[in-house]
Amino acid sequence: MKTWLDSWPVFRQLTGADPLGRGVAARSKATEQVVSRTATADRVVKSVCPYCAVGCAQRVFVKDEKIVQIEGDPDSPISRGRLCPKGSASKQLVTSPTRVTTVRYRRPYATDWEDLDLDTAMEMIADRVLEAREKGWQVEDEGKRVNRTMGLASLGGATLDNEENYLMKKLYSALGAIQIENQARI
């Protein structure tokens, strides 16, 4: 009964140190239980902002395998925990409901998308790479040996990881593709 009554704001207001009911007496149940979602996260993962090249360190808070918060890492000598509006919007970037998370396929001359299984898409792309490579193969050009294909090209963004760029350049070169470009030239 005592507890029950204590939790009644008016009782607290009338009997406590907060006669105007603007502070202690007004605290609601939710307020008493408030906790930040960084505190309840299962883990914090160290990351780096994907926007500009300053390289601000991020702390990614994960709860139930979902990202619940991304904020600056104060340990970083580069950013000292700060983020710009884009970096601050990173959680929205990675949890965006408009992200497309399944393969979409458009047939030649079609007017709309259709669905495609990921493994099928990979096999289809492999077919096409080999075909385009063959169609554009040059043993020589202008009398010089080149051993390359002009049939396929690639343009990468500059948010690619170094490891990704490395595999791309390695694979493309082994295929003989040379028109391999990146935002870095833009």
Partner 1 sequence: MAECHPVGFQWVMEAKARGAKVIHIDPRFTRTSAVADLHVPLRMGTDIAFLGGLIRYVLDNDLYFKEYVVAYTNAAALVGEEFVDTEDLGGLFSGFDPEHGHYDTGSWAYEFADEPHSGADDPQGSAEQEAVGDDHDVKSADQAQSLGSGGASIPAKPLRDETLQHPRSVFQVLKRHFARYTPEMVAEVCGIEPEVFEQVAKWVTSNSGRERTTAWVYSVGWTQHSVGAQYIRSCSILQTLLGNIGRPGGGILALRGHASIQGSTDVPTLYNLLPGYLPMPHAAQHSTVDEYVADAAGKAGFWGNKRAYTVSLLKAWFGDAASAENDFRFDWIPKINGDHSSYRTIADMIAGKVHGYFLVGENPSVGHPNGKMNRFGLANLDWLVVRDLQMIESATFWKEGPEIESGEMAPETIGTEVFFMPAATHTEKEGTFTQTQRVLQWRHKAVEPPADARSDLWFYFHLGRILRKRLAGSTDPRDQALLNLTWDYPTIGETADPDAAAVLREINGVGPDGRAVNGYLELKDDGSTSSGCWIYSGVYADEVNQAARRKPRREQGPVALEWGWAWPLNRRILYNRASADPDGKPWSERKKYVYWDEAAGKWTGDDVPDFEADKRPDYVPPEGARAQAAIGGADPFIMQMDGKAWLYAPSGLVDGPMPTHYEPAESVVENFLYDQQSSPTIERIAGPWNRENPSLSEVFPFQVTTYRLTEHHTAGGMSRTLPYLSELQPEFFVEVSPELAQLRGLVNGEFATLVSARTAIEAKVLVTERIRPVKLRGGQVVHQIGMPYHWSYSGLSTGDNANDLLGIVLDANTHIQEDKVSTADIVPGRRPRGPELLEFVESYRTRAGVGSGKVGVNGRAPDQDPSAIEETGA
Partner 2 sequence: MTTVSSASPGLSKDTGVVSGNRLYGPLPDVQGEAGYETDHPARVGFFTDTSVCIGCKACEVACKEWNTLPMDDSHGTKDAMGLSGMSYDNTGQLGANSWRHVAFIEQSRAVDLPMPVFGRPGDDRQDIGQPVNPITPTADSTLNAQTSVLNAEALSEFDPQTGQSGSDKQIRWLMSSDVCKHCTHAGCLDVCPTGALFRTEFGTVVVQGDICNGCGYCVPACPYGVIDKREDDGRVFKCTMCYDRLTDGLQPACATACPTQSIQFGDLDELQARADARLATLKGQGVETARLYGRDEADGVGGVGAFFLLLDEPEVYGFPPDPIVTTRDLPSMWRAAATGAAVIVGVVASAFVGRKR
Range 87-106, binding partner 2 (CB under 8 A) = 87-89, 91-92
**Pair of tokens at residue 8:** 């009644």
**Shortest CB 66 distance to partner 2, Å:** 13
In the range 29-68, which residues lie near partner 2 by CB under 8 A? 29-31, 34-39
Shortest separation between residue 15's beta carbon and partner 2, angstroms: 11
Give the CA dihedral 30, 36, 37, 42, nearest 10 degrees.
-110
Rg over CA atoms, the chain: 28
Single out the segment in contact with partner 2 by CB under 8 A; choices: 83-91, 112-120, 135-143, 172-180. 83-91
Beta-carbon contacts of 7 under 8 Å, excluding residues fewer than 6 positions away, are 29
Phi first, then psi: what are they for 156, rounded to 5°? Answer: -105, 150
For residues 17 and 50, what is the distance between their CA atoms, to the nearest angstrom?
A: 51
Task: For the segment 4-23, give every residue that binds partner 2 (CB under 8 A).
Answer: 4, 8-10, 13-14, 16-23
Rounded to a whole number of angstroms, the minimum distance from the CB of residue 37 to partner 1 is 15
- Residues near partner 2 (CB under 8 A) are 4, 8-10, 13-14, 16-31, 34-39, 69-72, 81-89, 91-92
